[in-house]
Chains A and B, each alone.
Chain A
Amino acid sequence: MDTITSLREWLDDLIYYFAYFPLVIQIAIIVSVLAVTGTIVAYVYMILFRWQKQRQAKKERPLREQVNELLLEHIIYKSVGDPDAPVALPLEDFKALPLHKKWVADVLIDQLLEYRNNFTGDIPRLLRQLYLDLGLHHKSATVLRSGHRKAIINALVELSGMGVLLEKEHVLALTQSRDRYIRESACSYWVQCSPDAPFEFFSHVKEPLLAWEQFELFRIISLRKDIPMPSFAQWIDPQYHPSVISLCLKLAAYFQQPEAIPAMIKMLDTPDEQLRALTINNLGKLMALEVEPILVKMYPQQPDSCKLEILKALGRIGSGDFIDFLRQELEQTEDFLLMKHAAHSIVAHKALASGLIARLQQSLTGTRQQVLQHSLNPLIKY
Chain B
Amino acid sequence: MHTAILKHITDFYESAIFVYCAGLFLFYILLAVLSLIAIRRSLWKNKIRGQQMLVASPLTPGISVIAPAYNEGVTIISNVRSLLALNYPRFEVVIVNDGSKDDTLQKLIDEFELTEVNFAYRQQIPSQAVKRFFKSTNPAYSKLLVLDKVNGKSKADAVNAGINASSFNYFLNTDVDCILARDTLLKLIKPFMDDPQRVIATGAPLRAANSCDVEAGVITRVRVPRSLLPRFQEMEYIRSYLLGKMGWTFINAVPNVSGGLGLFDKDIVIKSGGYDPGSFGEDMDMVVRMCRYMCEQDLPYRIHYIPETLCWTEVPATYKIFFRQRVRWARGLAQIFGKHRKVLFNPKYKKLGLIIFPYNFFFELLAPLIEFAGIIYYIYIIVNHLINWDYAIILLVFIYTFSILITSLSMLWDQLIFRYYQSWKEVWQLCILALAEPFIYHPTVLFCAIRGYFNQLTGKKHTWGNMQRQGFNQSPNLQKTI
| Chain A interface residues (CB < 8 Å from chain B) | 10, 14, 22, 24-25, 27-29, 31-32, 35-36, 38-39, 42-43, 45-46, 49-50, 53, 150, 153-154, 157, 181, 185, 208, 210-212, 214-216, 218-219, 250, 254, 336, 340, 367, 370-371, 373-375, 377, 379-382
A36 CA to B419 CA, complexed, in Å: 24
Closest beta carbon of chain A to B421's beta carbon, Å: 10
Contacts of B416 in A (CB 8 A): 49
21 contacts between A and B (CB under 8 A): A24-B15, A24-B18, A28-B397, A32-B397, A35-B401, A39-B408, A42-B405, A43-B412, A49-B415, A50-B415, A154-B48, A208-B196, A210-B195, A210-B196, A215-B59, A215-B60, A216-B53, A219-B57, A377-B117, A379-B137, A380-B135
User: B386 in the interface, Cβ–Cβ < 8 Å?
Assistant: no
Distance between Cα atoms of A185 and B49 in the complex (Å): 10
Q: Is the CB of B120 within 8 A of A367?
A: yes
Which residues from chain B contact A10 at a C-beta distance below 8 Å? 390
| B54 contact set on A, CB distance < 8 A | 215
- Beyond A24-B15, A46-B427, A367-B120, 7 additional contacts (C-beta under 8 Å) are A29-B394, A32-B394, A35-B398, A38-B409, A154-B48, A212-B190, A250-B59
* Chain B positions within 8 Å of A25 at CB level: 391, 394-395
Contact of B25 among A31, A153, A212, A215 (CB under 8 A): A31
The interface residues of chain B lying within 8 Å CB-to-CB of A373 are 118, 120
* Cross-chain contact A43 with B137 (CB below 8 angstroms): no
Contact call B415/A218, Cβ cutoff below 8 A: no
Q: Is A371 touching B115 in the complex (CB atoms < 8 A)?
A: no
Contacts of A22 in B (CB 8 A): 391
- Out of B22, B122, B415, name the residue touching A46 (CB < 8 Å): B415
Which listed residue, A43, A45, A154, A212, touches B193 by the CB 8 Å rule? A212
B464 in the interface (beta carbon within 8 A): no
Taking the complex as formed, is B92 at the interface, i.e. its CB lies under 8 A from any CB of chain A? yes
Please list the residues of chain B having a beta carbon within 8 angstroms of any beta carbon in chain A. Answer: 14-15, 18, 22, 25, 44, 48-49, 53-54, 56-60, 62, 92, 115, 117-122, 135-137, 142, 167-168, 190, 192-196, 390-391, 394-395, 397-398, 401-402, 404-405, 408-409, 411-412, 415-416, 419, 424, 427, 431
Q: How far is the CA of A49 from the CA of B409 in the complex (A)?
A: 14
- Give the distance to chain B from A70, nearest Cβ to Cβ, in Å: 25
A14 to B167, CA, bound (A): 67
In the complex, the answer to whether A218 meets B405 with C-beta atoms within 8 Å is: no
Which residues of A sit under 8 angstroms from B411, Cβ to Cβ? 42, 46
Known: A35-B401, A154-B48. A50 touches B424 (CB 8 A): yes
| A28/B394 contact (C-beta < 8 A), A42-B411, A46-B411, A154-B48 known | yes
- Write out the residue numbers on chain A whose beta carbons fall within 8 Å of the beta carbon of B137: 379
B residues in contact with A32, CB < 8 Å: 394, 397-398, 401-402
CB distance from B35 to the nearest CB of A (A): 14
Q: A371 to B44: give the CA distance in the assembly, Å.
A: 47
CA distance A381 to B427 in the complex (A): 47
Q: How many Å lie between the Cα of A334 and that of B406 in the bound state?
A: 56
| A46, B192: Cα distance in complex, Å | 33
Chain A residues closer than 8 Å to B118, beta-carbon distance? 370, 373-374, 377
Nearest CB on B from A368, distance (A): 9
Q: Chain A contacts of B167 at CB under 8 A? A: 381-382
Contact partner of B404 among A35, A150, A210, CB < 8 A?
A35
Q: Which residue of B lies closest to A17 (CB)?
A: B390
Contacts of A367 in B (CB 8 A): 120
- Are B136 and A215 in contact (CB-based, < 8 A)? no
Contact A39 B48 (CB under 8 A): no
Q: Which residues of B contact A374 (CB under 8 A)?
A: 117-120
Nearest-neighbour CB distance to chain A for B37, whole angstroms, equals 14
Assembly CA distance A212 to B60 (angstroms): 10
| Chain A residue at minimal CB-CB distance from B122 | A336
- Determine which of A35, A340, A379 lies in contact with B135 in the assembled complex, contact meaning CB atoms within 8 Å: A379
Complex alpha-carbon distance, A69 and B192, angstroms: 40
Q: Are B48 and A218 in contact (CB under 8 A)?
A: no
Considering residues A24, A216, A340, which has the most beta carbons from chain B within 10 angstroms of its beta carbon? A24
Residues of B within 8 A of A53 (CB): 419
CA distance A326 to B122 in the complex (A): 20
Cross-chain contact of B120 among A28, A35, A370, A379 (Cβ < 8 A):
A370
Contact of A211 among B18, B194, B431 (CB under 8 A): B194
Interface contact B193-A215, CB-CB below 8 Å? yes
Collect the chain B residues with CB atoms within 8 Å of residue A185's CB.
Answer: 48
B235 to chain A, nearest CB (A): 14
For A250, the chain B residues whose CB sits under 8 A away are 59
Interface centre among A25, A215, A219, A370 (most CB of B within 10 A): A215
- Which one of B57, B190, B419 contacts A218 once the chains associate, using CB atoms below 8 Å? B57
Which residues from chain B contact A153 at a C-beta distance below 8 Å? 48
Cβ distance B238 to chain A, nearest Cβ, rounded Å: 13
- Complex interface: chain B residues within 8 A of A28 (CB): 18, 394-395, 397-398
Give the distance in Å from the alpha carbon of A340 to the alpha carbon of B167 in the complex: 11
A39-B404 contact given A154-B48, A379-B137, CB 8 Å threshold: yes
Q: Nearest residue in B to A371 (C-beta to C-beta)?
A: B120
Query: Which residues on the A side are within 8 Å of B412 (C-beta)?
Result: 42-43, 45-46, 49
Q: Which residue of A lies closest to B120 (CB)?
A: A374
Determine the distance from Cα of A367 to Cα of B167 in the docked complex, in whole angstroms. Answer: 17
Cβ–Cβ < 8 Å partners of B59 in chain A: 214-215, 218, 250
> What residues on B are CB-neighbors of A45 within 8 Å?
412
Bound together, the chains give a CA A283 to CA B282 distance in angstroms of 42
Choice from A43, A49, A336 contacting B408 with Cβ under 8 Å: A43
Residues of A within 8 A of B92 (CB): 382
Residues of A within 8 A of B196 (CB): 208, 210
CB distance from A376 to the nearest CB of B (A): 9
B-side contacts of A382, CB under 8 Å: 62, 92, 167-168
Closest chain-A Cβ to B268's Cβ sits at a distance in Å of 15
Q: Across the A-B interface, give the 5 residue pairs with the lowest CB-CB distance, nearest first.
A: A382-B167, A374-B120, A35-B401, A28-B398, A373-B118
Chain B residues in 8 Å Cβ range of A31: 25, 398, 401-402
Judge whether A211 and B404 touch: CB under 8 Å. Answer: no
On chain B, the residues within 8 Å of A219 by CB distance are 53, 56-57
Q: Are B48 and A181 in contact (CB under 8 A)?
A: yes
Write out the residue numbers on chain B whose beta carbons fall within 8 Å of the beta carbon of A154: 48
Please report the C-alpha to C-alpha distance between residue A22 and residue B14 in the assembled complex, in whole angstroms: 12
